[in-house]
Amino acid sequence: MKFHWFAEVTYDDLPADFPAAGQGAWVDSPIGLADPRRVGENYRMFLRLMQQADRDGFDGLAVNEHHQTPFAMTPSPNLLAAGLAGTTEKAAILVIGDSLALYNPPTRVAEELAYLDCLSDGRVIAGFVFGTPMDSAFAYARPPSELRERFHEARELVLRAWREPEPFAFNGRYTQLRYVNLWPRPVQARPPIWVPGSGSVETWELVTRENYCYGHLSFSGLRAAKPVVDNYWNYVAENGGDLNPHRMAFTQLICVADSDAEAERKYADAVRYFQRVKDPATRFATPPGYTSPDSLRGMLARTTTPQAAEDRRRATAGEMSFWEYDEKGYIIAGTPDRVAQRVRELATELRVGQLIACLHMGDLAEETAAENTHLFGTRVIPQLRDLWADQPDHWTPPASHRDVPASVQPTTRAGAATLVGGD
């Protein structure tokens, strides 16, 4: 099993009454709340934490793209990745990802990812994302009904730019280029490709057909994610896809400490801060045309039970106790042994081979996040290396693969039909 360090780069000095009722934390949050120098301190902290994660044995360092929000101040993941590619030694540079439909021309993505792959000596994972409604439809004014078509045209152009040995012309609906002749090219013939999603059947079709890694980037934990992930694996099985767990990634907030009591003391406030500022206002979350009718029907059937809706409301409002967040899967918290056992249960139940562990959340102090990173890297990861060890991993760069002790024996086989989608 592989483990990637990730956190939303959240501004850590928002007032206690933010966001105002009904406003959310995206698109139109008052910019006067941000001190640019403090923003810079936040960025430098995240670079230090990811550099530490590389030293502590993590397999990847994940960065993402969002716009106009204090919840995730990462307008260009490639800039953050550039700060890591030349200052880390082993971990993959997981760009998850570039919002392809927002780039004009998309060759900019091809060039920058190639640059990162050269700088890191072949450690880039290319994540391609459709972009949240807040990012794409509102911050960047892309018509929602065009997003998928723009995404696929851009994806075709990026992959062809990496592959073609000679200059070529590209004449798409949204991009026309007389000369495409990429300098530089990636070290890898083609970096591994990941595509995250939240349950869209169109994304399932893409990743199954192309054998990409699918990332379910949920912050709601095992209970809320299981219906989506089970249906995804069923879709893969029914359509003859690859059932290797390494092509499934999952995000999870993790809070490790030397005792359960210490975990609550150190992380409870930061977990509530994270939950309070992560959501958009409803008016920005569901623009017409962003989600297809088929996907919308599936999402509604899987996720809108009264209990799930009430859990989400209470989590966002900070009405849950620390251990209720843990019980319902929003976080995994406690001692290294407890966390390792809970992660093992999550990975086997959801068939996850790539865990995107969120070791910083909200306004957590750097010292605590550094301790969290070290405990997870040195005392949790070694307990879980046996998971899926009998399955090849084609979705992370070979240059990032760490040596696994010969004594590690696989304990969970991916080929068992009884594990597919919970059937």
pLDDT in tens, the chain (423 residues): 999 999 999 999 999 999 998 899 999 999 999 999 999 999 999 999 999 999 999 999 999 999 999 999 999 999 999 999 999 999 999 999 999 999 999 999 999 999 999 999 999 999 999 999 999 999 999 999 999 999 999 999 999 999 999 999 999 999 999 999 999 999 999 999 999 988 788 999 999 999 999 999 888 777 888 888 999 999 999 999 999 999 999 999 999 999 999 999 999 999 999 999 999 999 999 888 887 777 666 666 655 567 777 888 899 989 999 999 999 999 999 999 999 999 999 999 999 999 999 999 999 999 999 999 999 999 999 999 999 999 999 999 999 998 766 666 666 554 433 333 333
Q: Rounded CA gap, 258 and 129, in Å?
A: 37
Would strands 248-256 and 331-334 be described as parallel, antiparallel, or unpaired? parallel
Contacts of 45 (CB under 8 A, 6+ apart): 366, 369
Contacts of 249 (CB under 8 A, 6+ apart): 4, 96, 194, 196, 213, 214, 215, 216, 217, 352, 353, 354, 355, 356
Q: Rounded CA gap, 250 and 373, in Å?
A: 18
Domain 2-422: which topology? TIM Barrel (3.20.20)
**Structural domain spans, the chain:** 2-422
pTM of the model: 0.94
Q: Rounded CA gap, 299 and 215, in Å?
A: 16
